[in-house]
Amino acid sequence: MVYLGGGGPRRRRGLYLHDPPPGYRPPRLDMPFRARQRKARQEYVLMRVVTVAVIVLAAALAVFVSLIIAKYS
């Protein structure tokens, strides 16, 4: 039985699978809580930075395309 939900093993709600999906690796519980918390915070910050960068690049591409369309109209 594989638990794929949040909130830890004591929480009853969540997604339980009889067989693990391919490539599933259980979370490492031998890491200290502070290390897991720091890693989660770093991943969160990295995801936000990448999201902002993608949005800025998409906006720049939209402006570039609209300028080319305006030039040839």
Domain boundaries, the chain: 2-72
Establish how many alpha carbons lie within 13 A of residue 36's alpha carbon, considering only the half-sphere containing its beta carbon: 7
The Cα–Cα gap between 27 and 50 comes to 24
> 7 pLDDT exceeds 70?
no
> 9 pLDDT exceeds 70?
no
12-49, pLDDT tens digit by residue?
A: 566 666 777 788 777 767 788 898 899 999 999 999 99
**What average pLDDT score do residues 54-62 get?**
98
> 6 pLDDT exceeds 80?
no
> What element of type H or E holds 17?
strand 16-17
